[in-house]
Amino acid sequence: MATVLLIEDDANVSAALTRALSKAGHHVRAESTALEALRKVTADPPDVVILDLGLPDLDGADALRMLRGVSNVPVIIASARRGETDIIKLLNAGADDYVTKPFSAAHLLARIAAVLRRHESSDTAKSVLITVGPLSVDQSRHVAALDGNELELTRREFSLLTYLARHAGRVVSKQELVEQVWRQPYIGAEATVDVHVSWLRRKLGETAAKPRLLRTVRGVGIMLSDEPVTQPGHR
For the chain, residues classed under CATH 1.10.10.10 are 129-224
Query: Residue 91 in contact with residue 98, Cβ under 8 Å?
Result: yes
Helices (H), the chain: 11-23, 34-43, 60-68, 84-92, 105-125, 155-166, 174-177, 190-203
Predicted pLDDT of residue 187? 67
Percent of the chain residues past pLDDT 90, beyond the cut: 49
Query: Residue 216 in contact with residue 234, Cβ under 8 Å?
Result: yes
Higher pLDDT, 180 or 7: 7
Taking the C-alpha atoms of residue 176 and residue 190, their distance in angstroms, rounded to an integer, is 11
Which of 193, 182, 179, 199 lies closest to 222, judged by CA?
Answer: 193
Which residues face 146 on adjacent strands? Answer: 135, 149
Reported confidence tier of residue 155, pLDDT bands at 50, 70, 90 = confident
Evaluate if residue 223 carries a pLDDT over 50: yes
Percent of the chain residues past pLDDT 70, beyond the cut: 91
Reported confidence tier of residue 191, pLDDT bands at 50, 70, 90 = confident
Higher pLDDT, 205 or 183: 205
Q: What is the mean pLDDT of the chain?
A: 87
Predicted pLDDT of residue 144? 95
- Give pairs for 94-100: CB < 8 Å, separation 24+: 94/64, 94/65, 94/67, 94/68, 94/183, 95/51, 95/64, 96/183
Reported confidence tier of residue 4, pLDDT bands at 50, 70, 90 = very high
Query: Residue 111 in contact with residue 204, Cβ under 8 Å?
Result: no
Taking the C-alpha atoms of residue 77 and residue 52, their distance in angstroms, rounded to an integer, is 6
For the chain, residues classed under CATH 3.40.50.2300 are 3-124
* Interval 53-97: pLDDT, tens: 989 998 888 899 888 888 888 999 998 887 888 888 888 888 889
- Which fold would CATH assign to domain 129-224? Arc Repressor Mutant, subunit A (1.10.10)
CATH says 3-124 is which class?
A: alpha beta
Evaluate if residue 229 carries a pLDDT over 80: no
The mean per-residue pLDDT over the stretch 147-162 comes to 92
Q: Compute the C-alpha angle 40/45/46, nearest 5°.
A: 100
DSSP 69-98: TT----EEEEES---HHHHHHHHHTT-SEE
* Interval 89-148: pLDDT, tens: 888 888 889 999 888 999 999 999 988 887 776 555 555 789 999 999 998 788 999 999
- Residue 126 CA to its chain's centroid (Å): 13
CA distances from 188 to 92, 93, 98, 197, 198 (A): 11, 14, 19, 16, 18
pTM beyond 0.85, yes or no: no
Q: Compute the C-alpha angle 139/123/130, nearest 5°.
A: 30
Predicted pLDDT of residue 86? 81
Predicted pLDDT of residue 87? 85
Which of 105, 111, 75 lies closest to 91, judged by CA?
Answer: 75
